[in-house]
Structure formats: structure tokens, C-alpha cells
Amino acid sequence: MDWRSLLGPSGAQQFDLTNVHSVELTKRRPEISLTKQGAAIGNMRVNLSWSMRTSDTASWKVEGGGFLRRQLEIFKPQVVQAAGPAMVNVDLDLACLYELADGSKGVVQPLGDFLGDLDAPPYIKMSGDDRFGSGSGETLFINFDKRDEFKRLLVFVYIYDGTPAFDRAHAKVEIFPGSGPRIEIPLNEREPQARSCAVLLIENRKGELVVRREVRYVYGFQAEIDRLYGWGLQWGRGYKSKV
């Protein structure tokens, strides 16, 4: 790959290189073109991984109860706290709203077992449901051999049990295109009351597939993200199959 293609006319980077193998989409550099990289081919993998934070005060030496109490006040919401360096388990789910070129819309997600299909519409497939934040995380596959069938895709993350805990999790979404560098989007903003996050939008702009960082936290679930982006689906209560 010619890395000069990643530079603008003046030589300025169009996104932030973390190393030669990955780029990070940021508020300053929120977009990258898969088409211009030659990466809009084959099966693209989108991975969510996370680990739970221990209390940030776990390693502090307590020299005065007043100072410790003041520091503990920064942690919200209180409903997910415990005294000392307790860990809060959370079940983050990866999902994708899709709109195809023919106007059909829907969602691929573990909830309700809407796991999709890679070789038939919507050409998106959920690999499984990680309920414990293991190293492999959760993965979506997107078949970009059918790239002309896509109008827009919104990848989002939600907390299944509803307990707000984004501020207690080290979470990130990574994109592994068919070619070119890995694309990283950390979810590192402290939004203690949020239950869902719209992470990235993939749009077909006159044949060019562009990934745009969103990272917009909301306090509701899928229906609120739907309204935010104008998908227009009908939502009801859903449940996961038992392990």
C-alpha cells in the first residue's frame, strides 16, 4: 500500500496513525474512506472488546478519610459502585442498524437472535455473544463484496441489563478491513448514565464507502439510537437466549 495516499495535498494526515498497522478515528480526524484504501472488499470484521475497570482508588494509600471520600464522589452512577476496589460486571453488546440500497432496514444484534446472514440480505453476520468481556469480544462480519447493496450502516453498543456502566469499562471497537490498517475507535469518554453508544457510521457516498466516528452516548436503548439517526423501526422488549 502507498502510504502517501493517506496524506492530504499539503502532507497533512487525514486521520491519526497509532502505528503502521492501525489508525485511530478521533474528534479531530473522524473519517476514513475504505474505497480509497482499496479496503471495501471481502469480509470486513468489526470487533468489540472490553474489560472492567477496578476502582480507580484501589491502589491509593488512605492517608485521610476526607480525601478519599472526596475522590469517591467522582464516580457515577452510585448504583454500580461498591466499597473498595470492587469490579462491576457488565454485558456490552455489539449491534448494527442497516439500510440497504433497496430501502429495506433492520438490525443485527444478539438480542432476539437477530444474527443476520453474510451471503443473503442484510449481508451482515453476528459471530456470537460475549457476555463476560473476554479477550475475543464480540464480532460482526460485513460482506463488502455486496458493497453496492449498502446505503448506510450504524454500528452501536448497548448494555444488555440496562445498568449504566460505560464509565467503568475499558471498551473499544476495532475494524479489520480486507486490506489496509486496522481502524480503532476507543470508547473512553466518561458517560456514567449512558446505556447505549452509537460508535460509527458507514455510508455509501455515490459509490464511496466512508467510515465516520460517531461516539454519541444516549441514555436509552435501540429505540433512542433509531430516533437519533432516523431509522424508523418499531421496537419492543427483547430477551437473549439462555446460556
**Residue-range definition of the domain harbouring residue 48:** 13-52+86-229
In a domain, 137, yes or no: yes
pLDDT of residue 56: 45
In a domain, 4, yes or no: no
In a domain, 76, yes or no: no
| Antiparallel, parallel or unpaired: β 31-33 and 43-52 | unpaired
Q: What is the per-residue pLDDT across 127-179, written as a single tens digit (0 to 9) for each?
A: 865 444 444 578 999 999 999 999 999 999 998 776 777 887 788 999 999 88
Q: What is the per-residue pLDDT across 58-97, written as a single tens digit (0 to 9) for each?
A: 433 333 445 444 444 444 443 333 333 345 567 789 999 9
Q: Give the count of domains, the chain.
A: 1
In a domain, 192, yes or no: yes
> Are 199 and 185 in contact, with CB atoms under 8 Å apart?
yes
Torsion of CA 68, 69, 71, 76, to 10 degrees: 140
Average pLDDT for 35-61 = 76
> Are 194 and 205 in contact, with CB atoms under 8 Å apart?
no
Alpha carbon of residue 105 to chain centroid: 20
> Are 215 and 227 in contact, with CB atoms under 8 Å apart?
no
pTM over 0.75: yes
In a domain, 200, yes or no: yes
Instruction: Please name the residue that has the C-alpha cell 480526524.
Output: 29
> Are 218 and 189 in contact, with CB atoms under 8 Å apart?
no
Grid coordinates given for 140: 460482526
CATH of the domain at 98: 2.60.60.30
